[in-house]
Structure 1
Amino acid sequence: MQLRLPSSISDAQRCLAEGAIPIGGATLVWAAWQRDGFPEKAVSLRHVPEANVVGSEELGGAVLLHRVDATVPEVLHRAASGIGTGAVRRTATVGGNIVGSTLRCLLPAALVLDARATVLEPGNVYDTDLGELVAKRPLLLGLRWRTPLVSGYRKVEGDAGGPPPLVVAAAVHADGDSDGNGPRQLRVAVREGYEVLSESTPFDRDADQVLHALERTDLAALPAAAREHLRAQVTDVLVRTGEV
């Protein structure tokens, strides 16, 4: 296998046009390639500057998980730090986790940040939403979002060999107002098994009103234990706004 390491977006596009298969940390595909055969060409964005940014409102698709630090919002930092072992986090990438994995551990955090994805194709670079990103699984160049007022994340310990552990993410945003004084919105996302559900509802100083609103969404179909964790995480985030 020939591994291409372009240093610019245009170089990466040329590699894709030549049929190179995108590869991140290869933590998910290596075993399959050993079994089924390696591709002739692969391409990594590890040397493309735009794919390696770690900022308060952006994160590159080629960033290794162990580099996702407190620069980003709490919900995304905690999600990344709880994935696998230290060895996995030093190898696996943001793009590989969201696009290449069925676990998508970072997806709930990205959803509550209302993140937009920038994706790379042989002849195009464009922005899209996370739904299209997950459905079409293009090459992720990076994520962008607006900083939330407060965010939170919890991952419930699961059984060894069982389904993926429950994940609950939440964030409060001041929509449409850069000074934080706009209408406030609570966004939540839950990974139950391999499914990820997300909803939003207007912020209210009465936590019970917010929770009742969420219970009228598809989240009401979650198992009782999952709803309890959701309730606890939402309450915690609302309290940390200092207005509940």
Structure 2
Amino acid sequence: MLLRLPTSVSEARECLAEGAVPIGGATLLWAEWQRDGFPALAMSLRGVPQANALGPGTLGAAVVLHRIDDRVPDVLRLAAAGVGTGAVRRTATVGGNLVGSTLRCLLPAALALEARAAVLGPDGVQETDLAEVTAKRPLLLDLRWRDPVASAYIKLPADPGGRPPVTVAVALHADTPGHRRLRVAVRDGYEVVEGAAPCDDNIENALRTLRGTALGDLPETAWDAVDAQVGAVLRAAGDG
């Protein structure tokens, strides 16, 4: 297998045109390749500056999970810290988790942040939403968002080897002065559902509105976690 290491977006685009397979941290691909055979040409984005961005409002696809710190909102930092073991987090990348993984542990956090994705295709760099990223699995370059007022994340306990744990991600956004909005995303099994509600003054009204969204079918154990995380976000925002 020949591994290409482009140092710019234009070079990465050339690699794609040559049929290079993006590998991320290869944590999910190695066993598959050992079973089915290695590709002739692979590509890593670890030399592309845009894919290594880590700071306010942006996170590159080539960033390994253990590097994600308080430069990003709590909801994303905590989600990354809860992925696998320390050894996994030192090699797994943001792009591999969102595009290559079936669990997509970072997806609820990214949805709560209302993140947009920059992806690279035959026509160059385009911005798209996370639904397209998970459905079409393009080459992800980075995530971008507007920092929330406050955010929170929790992963509930689960039996080893059983159903994936429920994870709850919550962010409070300030749309305009005096008008705020809760965005909640929950992974239940392998499915991720989300919803939003105004949160101007009455938290009970906001929670009732959230129950009228796709979140309404969640089990009560998940709703208990939603309630708790919404409360944590409001306290962090100075409302509790």
Q: Same fold (TM over 0.5)?
A: yes
Q: Structure 1 CA distance, aligned partners of 2:127 and 2:221?
A: 36
2:222 alignment partner in structure 1? 226
The CA deviation at 1:182 is 5.2
* 228, 231, 241: which one aligns with 2:237: 241
The CA deviation at 1:123 is 3.2
2:65 alignment partner in structure 1? 65
1:210 alignment partner in structure 2? 206
Root-mean-square deviation (CA, aligned residues, Å) is: 1.1
Alignment of 1:22-171 (within 5 A): 22-171=22-171
2:11 alignment partner in structure 1? 11
Q: Structure 2 CA distance, aligned partners of 1:9 and 1:182?
A: 40
Q: Structure 2 CA distance, aligned partners of 1:91 and 1:19?
A: 24
Contact 1:205 1:243 in 2 (8 A): no
Q: Deviations over 1:19-63 (max 9, x none)?
A: 000110110111011001111100010000110010110000000
Match for 2:77: what amino acid?
Answer: H
Q: Return 5+ residue gaps in structure 1 as ranges.
A: none
Match for 2:87: what amino acid?
Answer: A
The CA deviation at 1:157 is 1.6
Q: Structure 2 CA distance, aligned partners of 1:146 and 1:100?
A: 25
2:192 alignment partner in structure 1? 196
Q: Structure 1 CA distance, aligned partners of 2:65 and 2:122?
A: 26
Q: Structure 2 CA distance, aligned partners of 1:55 and 1:146?
A: 12
Q: Which runs of at least 4 in structure 1 moved beyond 4 Å after TM superposition?
A: none
* 179, 183, 187: which one aligns with 2:179: 183
Match for 1:16: what amino acid?
Answer: L
Q: Return 5+ residue gaps in structure 2 as ranges.
A: none
SS in 1 for 2:62: coil
Q: Structure 2 CA distance, aligned partners of 1:21 and 1:239?
A: 45
Q: Structure 2 CA distance, aligned partners of 1:119 and 1:55?
A: 18
**Is 234-243 or 74-83 further displaced after alignment?**
234-243
Q: Deviations over 1:52-85 (max 9, x none)?
A: 0101100000000011111001100011011111
SS in 2 for 1:141: strand
Q: Structure 1 CA distance, aligned partners of 2:178 and 2:97?
A: 33
Match for 1:203: what amino acid?
Answer: C
SS in 1 for 2:226: helix
Query: Alignment identity in percent?
Result: 61
SS in 2 for 1:62: coil
Q: Structure 2 CA distance, aligned partners of 1:123 and 1:129?
A: 17
Q: Deviations over 1:109-162 (max 9, x none)?
A: 000111000001133110001111111110100000001000000011211001
1:174 alignment partner in structure 2? 174
The CA deviation at 1:6 is 0.6
Q: Structure 2 CA distance, aligned partners of 1:13 and 1:182?
A: 44
Contact 2:25 2:93 in 1 (8 A): yes
